[in-house]
Structure 1
Amino acid sequence: MTPFDSVAIVDWSGGNDTGARPRRDAIWLGLARAGEAQRPPPRYLRNRLEAEETLETLIESERTAGRRLLIGFDFPFGFPAGFAAALTGRADTLAVWHWLEARIEDSPRANNRFALAGAINRALGGGRGPFWGNGRPALDVPGLPRTKADYANPFPERRAAERIARGSFTCWQLAGAGAVGSQVLMGLPVLERLRRRFAPDVAVWPFQPLAGAPVIFAEIWPTLIDGAVKRATARGGIRDAHQVDLLAVALARLPRGDLIAMLDCDAAEEGWIMGLGHEKKLEQAAAQHGTDLRPPPLRDDCFALPAGVDWTPVDDALALLRDRLHPVVATTSAPLGKALGRILAQDVTARRANPPQPNSAVDGYGFAHSALGGGDQLLPLLPGRAAAGVPFDGTVPAGHALRVLTGAALPEGVDTVILQEDVTASDTQIAFRPGIRPGANTRRAGEDVEPGQTILAAGRRLTPADLALASATGLADLPLRQRLRVAVISTGDELIEPGDTPAPGQIFDANRPMLLGLAAEFGFETLDLGRIPDNRDTLRAAFDRGAREADVILTSGGASAGDEDHVSALLNAAGAMAEWRIAVKPGRPLALGLWNDTPVFGLPGNPVAALVCTLIFARPAMGLLAGAGWHEPQGFDLPAAFSKTKKPGRREYLRARMRDGRAEVFPSEGSGRISGLSWAEGLVELPDGAARITPGTPVRYLPFSGFL
């Protein structure tokens, strides 16, 4: 097993705050635990202050959980030989860390790295080196050359590791393409503070012994897995996010012996790049995980309603969900045998034509139609035959015939087949009447599917017939979405498990079995997080687990604004909560929000309203999150078998079923009548406006099967 329980990879930046929107050339953090990428996906950190706070929290949580943590940073930990002694008086790289931390000034919008580099140059290199690359176009920095013109470095240009690592850059360059010097100057002070705060639990490789240290800092370089990163980026997304995710999982999945070999290094002054010399093993591990790529998280404001919105019509609510949500599950690949019911991640094209070559559609006799004369036909019969999988080895001369069986590839010289029932045959010849058309009873190559033709579209939930088509066109593996993982929570002190003895005021939990069953019917994986009492801390812990282990959380109850409505209270406290007051019956306001980047659907506690809101709102939204696209329920119009007068203002959904071609509804509209859910086989949808329904009036019927 690996010597580390968790692996974090940090893609660093030496620049200023990069803004709220995730972007490249910024700070990104990827985390793998027990060999698997963790939720939430790679995290965008807009500045070093936020990054330092995030790393503090990560180290603290891993230490508390008793997990050994490796953190890799993508900038040099040391400088070329001789620099440490010249700067600090000691040939000790960690003394350089301490020296820089005492002098670097940093804020999200400004820092003094160029000024400090100029001061070092004036002290050690007469103002001509070792640093170069003034990135401040409007201000000259004394002692810091803008380019390498008139540049003189009193130290080696590169460390030993950089002379081996192809494509690496010198740590002396502070600005311009490929500059890592600014990352070093702005990164080492952060590492020094973290090292000091968590001493003696942090060991820095390769400068300190690692034995017994629960937290290891190591220098890494994502370019070691550049092939896997390029393939991942070609499918979309931000390169920085891909590389921290891929490298974290690659290191987490390596066998213990391989990791120990990577850490077996004696470069105590200059440092070393972890994995250098082991690129092939890292690339293989990264490539394996590279088929499991996760899209970016949802925006924090994805559930925000437009200003001034009060009651939202159903169609407006659905349009908002459709516009703002996108897939959140990773992409992977799997063989056909494991693809049934999965969501296709990309369009799939045929590798081979179907049929791959012209073949016979019947048992009969094949020949060249152009060689036939007028009147009755008498053709010599060649010895042998063509059968499916056993082609005829040779050419059929014009004016001759050959025995062919269904599915047999047509040999050279055959373009038409006559049914054996229409032929009189002997061992040496066949006879048949005139009238057969050219190409009769044959299938041309590719008449079903041409090579390169799109046969299955992204977002499709794969059926047995789809697997047959993929197999027939030469596909052994398919690009798939990981199954959406749906966590389900029931809230409320009044709930108990079926089979328990209820106290006064207690009821059995009906929602959780229903919601878990619905999610499974939709083709999603389910996670039962149980019944949560009206306790905010307990619910917070359940939310935390749901965000770690699932892609979406469904809750029932606690979603309004009362004293015990802890779902909405927690989402409000997290700053990502919206109460959608939707003009729908049955139903109450939906609490929609994000918890650690994971969407939460706070459903009503009433089972009837919970079912309707799940089908109408959560189902299509989860389809988008799963990569299956927006799912419109399949329905049709039926004559009503009931009477009803409806007021304007809200769309209504009645529990219904179809009998004798008519839609009948449950006799009571009471939202507490759970028996009506079992009685029903679908819903009747009544429009937002006023309506008067009498027997025979056309109504829209949505069978439950139409939501699958």
Structure 2
Amino acid sequence: MFDRIAILDWSAAGTPKTGKDSIWLAIADGSGVRSENIPTRMQAEERLSALLAEGDRLLIGVDFSLSFPAAALERLGVDAAGLWRHLATNHTDTAKNLSNYRHVAAELNQRLEGDGPFWGNGAKADTPHLPRTKPASALPEWRACEEVAQANGLNPKSCWQLAGAGAVGAQSLTGMPMVYRLREQGATVWPFDPISRVTIAEVYPSILSAEVRAHLSRHPDMVLDQAQVELLAQALWVLNAGGTLPPLFDVEPTKEGHILGLNHELALRAAEPSAILPPRLRNDCFAMPQGVNWVPVDAALDKLKQALHPIKGVETINSHKAQGCILAADAVARRSNPPRPNSAVDGYGFAHEATSDGPQKLPLLQGRAAAGQPFDGAVPHGAAVRILTGAILPDGVDTVVLEEDCALDGASVIFDGPVKPRANTRKAGEDVESGQTAIRAGHVLRAPDIALLSALGIADVQVYEPLRVGVLSTGDELIARPDMDALPHQIFDANRPMLLSLLNGWGYAPVDLGHCEDDPKLIERTLDRANVDVILTSGGASAGDEDHVSHLLRTKGTLSSWRIALKPGRPLALAMWDGTPVFGLPGNPVAALVCALVFARPALSLMAGSGWAEPVGFTVPAAFEKHKKAGRREYLRARLNDQGKAEAFKSEGSGRISGLSWADGLVELPDEAAEITHGTPVRYIPYAMLGLR
């Protein structure tokens, strides 16, 4: 939509000023974002006029209200444009920032109620009809968009307040005259006017307050106003570059105007790759209601789905290098595919209107149209031209007849009619049209997606940064590596290599946190130094004497120990460790894998940005027998035989790791009692549908 985006933080200061609470202008474009600190309002207006004159498509966001509540406009007898004109006529300013906005406010008070609704005289001298404190007023304090902002957790200030902490009324009275003059120079003001080459819109930089605070913590020397305009300019620019900015403008015009980005806060927060991060998970996000002991599988999954959200930041990368990445914003076609109408076959092209129902004989032009070599000129009505597959249809051609259906006599092409209009041709945008969403956010990009992005001219895409998942094994009985010597009471660690391989297959960045003996101090140091987004532990998740992981998470973190109505894999420890989610899996390898597939896979998918991953299964006849009791969901290691029936592993013992390798999927048995005999329909979930390859 735009070549540049400029965000203006305005000031009603009475003297030239820089630094805190002064005028800041941030400009974002393809080269990045940069900010300017402008001492006076006149200089700021001159700067915006210069930008307007440069000829670029420009969005100017201003941080003051562009209208009053509708009831006040009705009493004044003006619309928003009339208000700007009135203020431009009556407001004066100087090169030294001396403004008469208090007198303008007093004059409006007289026209509205007498001694209100404007209030907040911060000058030493009294101004008649401008009270120093808030008066009682019958006029609304807020515009409709400001009420929506408050409902969304934002804290806008009233346009009637001229002085005091966060007051914005003076900015509006001094800023709207400038908007009027920029409009006279050719700009339009959204949503009162249509979007044009230069569009002015009201913005609210504090919409990114959490991100601004995080940014300032990394850049303590930066001024708050500077951080606000830079981050908002960058966020809007990323949406603009990705083709996802237009929905922010899709509002019904009103007399009161609107705040750009309102109700699109999540899109803005996800857009800025270098500074804007999703919110952290709450410390109590895994807490179950009091009194809940055994948790059904579906209830546990619903709880996770509600508690979690994407936790990674966003970056922009070249689409050719995006295989396996998760799309963070819709990919919008920059070009149609195909870009122009073209031929679907090798043959001869002509205007359909020049043909009839019988045998056809059309004079054949010299030259041809080929893919990458368009025909030079137009095809006259009643003539034909040689055309090859993929070639752009020349002017005068809308139909192609297949080469095999034609004969040539040296000067003409001959074929039997009738021919269908537009036969053997492809319309421009027949596959995807320019501006159309090609791939939705949350999609994991594959080789076919890379082809589509390239065909549509999408050179760069916004993707979530890779999810870093640490894997930690605990237990005195474990030997970290299979090449080490093991005593009779020791076993080789199977969980950690299994889980690391599983994470790699899911497309995440696995981080090996190693093996810890049953030493709480050692486990604590390992968790503290993990530097990952999520941690998977195995072992120590129950409540026994040596279950140090659950004890440590309970005393030093926030632990919710879930007893899942599941076989295999009853204990599941879910916790937050210094802001990092921890999934404490059972120590038994079979139970650890089942819990990882059933619980960790959809949860990690959601936190990574690709949404909740529902397991895909299908119904097949059973090739086994089982009497199942009610009360627990069961997962059996299974594989399909050559008849398409599901065989179950010979033993349900949780220590039989060979069954995991023997199987090619899981049979899911319901919570209720079931009697399974040969031929009973059962739900089979292939390993491949669980991301196991």
Secondary structure, aligned partner of 1:241: helix
Q: Does 1:177 align with 2:167?
A: yes
Hey, what does 1:63 align to over in structure 2?
none
Hey, what does 2:534 align to over in structure 1?
552
Q: Select the residue among 677, 687, 693 that pairs with 1:704.
A: 687
Hey, what does 2:330 align to over in structure 1?
347
For 1:530 and 1:663, how far apart are their aligned partners in 2? Answer: 37
Hey, what does 1:394 align to over in structure 2?
377
Give matches, 1:433-582, under 5 Å.
433-496=416-479, 497-546=481-530, 549-582=531-564
Question: Are the counterparts in 1 of residues 557 and 578 from structure 2 also a CA contact under 8 Å?
Answer: no
Question: Are the counterparts in 1 of residues 120 and 164 from structure 2 also a CA contact under 8 Å?
Answer: no
For 2:676 and 2:205, how far apart are their aligned partners in 1? Answer: 51
Question: Are the counterparts in 2 of residues 250 and 286 from structure 1 also a CA contact under 8 Å?
Answer: no
CA distance 1:365–1:620, shift in 2 (3 Å): same
For 1:665 and 1:374, how far apart are their aligned partners in 2? Answer: 66
Question: Are the counterparts in 1 of residues 348 and 403 from structure 2 also a CA contact under 8 Å?
Answer: yes
For 1:324 and 1:297, how far apart are their aligned partners in 2? Answer: 11
Amino-acid identity (%) = 57
Q: Does 1:608 align with 2:590?
A: yes
Question: Are the counterparts in 1 of residues 212 and 224 from structure 2 also a CA contact under 8 Å?
Answer: no
Q: Normalising by structure 2, report the TM-score.
A: 0.64
Over 6 Å off, 4+ runs: 233-237, 272-276, 283-289
Give matches, 1:83-94, under 5 Å.
none
Q: What is the letter of the counterpart of residue 490 of structure 2?
A: Q
Hey, what does 1:636 align to over in structure 2?
618
Hey, what does 2:184 align to over in structure 1?
none
Hey, what does 1:676 align to over in structure 2?
659
The number of equivalent residue pairs is 469
For 1:285 and 1:616, how far apart are their aligned partners in 2? Answer: 36
Question: Are the counterparts in 2 of residues 484 and 525 from structure 1 also a CA contact under 8 Å?
Answer: yes
For 2:567 and 2:362, how far apart are their aligned partners in 1? Answer: 77
Deviation of residue 178 (structure 1)? 7.6
Unaligned runs of 5+ residues in structure 2 are 1-118, 127-162, 170-201, 239-270
CA-to-aligned-CA distance 1:56-107 (integer Å, 9 cap, x gap)? xxxxxxxxxxxxxxxxxxxxxxxxxxxxxxxxxxxxxxxxxxxxxxxxxxxx
Secondary structure, aligned partner of 2:636: strand
CA distance 1:557–1:657, shift in 2 (3 Å): same
Question: Are the counterparts in 2 of residues 590 and 602 from structure 1 also a CA contact under 8 Å?
Answer: yes
CA distance 1:285–1:453, shift in 2 (3 Å): closer
Deviation of residue 249 (structure 1)? 5.6
CA-to-aligned-CA distance 1:372-428 (integer Å, 9 cap, x gap)? 134211111111111111111211000000011100000110000011111112442
Q: Select the residue among 322, 328, 344 that pairs with 1:361.
A: 344
Question: Are the counterparts in 1 of residues 619 and 682 from structure 2 also a CA contact under 8 Å?
Answer: yes
For 1:706 and 1:236, how far apart are their aligned partners in 2? Answer: 44
Hey, what does 2:359 align to over in structure 1?
376
Q: What is the letter of the counterpart of residue 326 of structure 2?
A: I
For 1:664 and 1:373, how far apart are their aligned partners in 2? Answer: 65
For 1:492 and 1:290, how far apart are their aligned partners in 2? Answer: 43
How large is the RMSD of aligned CA atoms in angstroms? 3.0
Hey, what does 2:297 align to over in structure 1?
314
Deviation of residue 284 (structure 1)? 9.6
Question: Are the counterparts in 2 of residues 637 and 699 from structure 1 also a CA contact under 8 Å?
Answer: yes
Secondary structure, aligned partner of 2:367: strand
Q: Does 1:692 align with 2:675?
A: yes
CA distance 1:424–1:250, shift in 2 (3 Å): farther
Deviation of residue 241 (structure 1)? 2.6
Hey, what does 1:142 align to over in structure 2?
none
Deviation of residue 617 (structure 1)? 0.7
Question: Are the counterparts in 2 of residues 247 and 286 from structure 1 also a CA contact under 8 Å?
Answer: no
Give matches, 1:577-656, under 5 Å.
577-656=559-638
Hey, what does 2:405 align to over in structure 1?
422
Question: Are the counterparts in 2 of residues 237 and 295 from structure 1 also a CA contact under 8 Å?
Answer: no
Deviation of residue 566 (structure 1)? 1.7
For 1:414 and 1:362, how far apart are their aligned partners in 2? Answer: 14
Question: Are the counterparts in 2 of residues 246 and 286 from structure 1 also a CA contact under 8 Å?
Answer: no
CA-to-aligned-CA distance 1:263-294 (integer Å, 9 cap, x gap)? 9xxxxxxxx97999xx999x999999942432
CA distance 1:286–1:344, shift in 2 (3 Å): closer
For 1:247 and 1:337, how far apart are their aligned partners in 2? Answer: 34
Deviation of residue 300 (structure 1)? 1.2
Hey, what does 2:124 align to over in structure 1?
150
Question: Are the counterparts in 1 of residues 356 and 418 from structure 2 also a CA contact under 8 Å?
Answer: no
For 1:468 and 1:151, how far apart are their aligned partners in 2? Answer: 70
CA distance 1:364–1:695, shift in 2 (3 Å): same
CA-to-aligned-CA distance 1:652-680 (integer Å, 9 cap, x gap)? 10111111201001101110011111111
Deviation of residue 594 (structure 1)? 0.6
For 1:322 and 1:234, how far apart are their aligned partners in 2? Answer: 33
Give matches, 1:105-124, under 5 Å.
none
Deviation of residue 706 (structure 1)? 0.6
For 1:693 and 1:362, how far apart are their aligned partners in 2? Answer: 56
Hey, what does 1:29 align to over in structure 2?
none
CA distance 1:375–1:286, shift in 2 (3 Å): closer
Give matches, 1:182-221, under 5 Å.
none
CA-to-aligned-CA distance 1:502-524 (integer Å, 9 cap, x gap)? 12411110000000011111111
CA-to-aligned-CA distance 1:35-58 (integer Å, 9 cap, x gap)? xxxxxxxxxxxxxxxxxxxxxxxx
CA distance 1:248–1:474, shift in 2 (3 Å): farther
For 1:512 and 1:625, how far apart are their aligned partners in 2? Answer: 21
CA distance 1:275–1:146, shift in 2 (3 Å): closer
Secondary structure, aligned partner of 2:529: helix
For 1:324 and 1:670, how far apart are their aligned partners in 2? Answer: 33
Q: Does 1:300 align with 2:283?
A: yes
Hey, what does 2:6 align to over in structure 1?
none
Question: Are the counterparts in 1 of residues 629 and 673 from structure 2 also a CA contact under 8 Å?
Answer: yes
Q: Select the residue among 653, 659, 667 that pairs with 2:641.
A: 659
Q: What is the letter of the counterpart of residue 239 of structure 1?
A: L
Secondary structure, aligned partner of 2:619: strand
CA distance 1:298–1:284, shift in 2 (3 Å): closer
For 2:664 and 2:543, how far apart are their aligned partners in 1? Answer: 33
Give matches, 1:214-363, under 5 Å.
239-246=208-215, 290-292=272-274, 293-363=276-346
CA distance 1:399–1:146, shift in 2 (3 Å): closer
Deviation of residue 248 (structure 1)? 5.8
CA-to-aligned-CA distance 1:149-180 (integer Å, 9 cap, x gap)? 3279xxxxxxxxxxxxxxxxxxxx9734389x
Deviation of residue 434 (structure 1)? 1.4
Q: What is the letter of the counterpart of residue 621 of structure 2?
A: P
CA distance 1:641–1:374, shift in 2 (3 Å): closer
Question: Are the counterparts in 1 of residues 333 and 458 from structure 2 also a CA contact under 8 Å?
Answer: yes
CA distance 1:235–1:353, shift in 2 (3 Å): farther
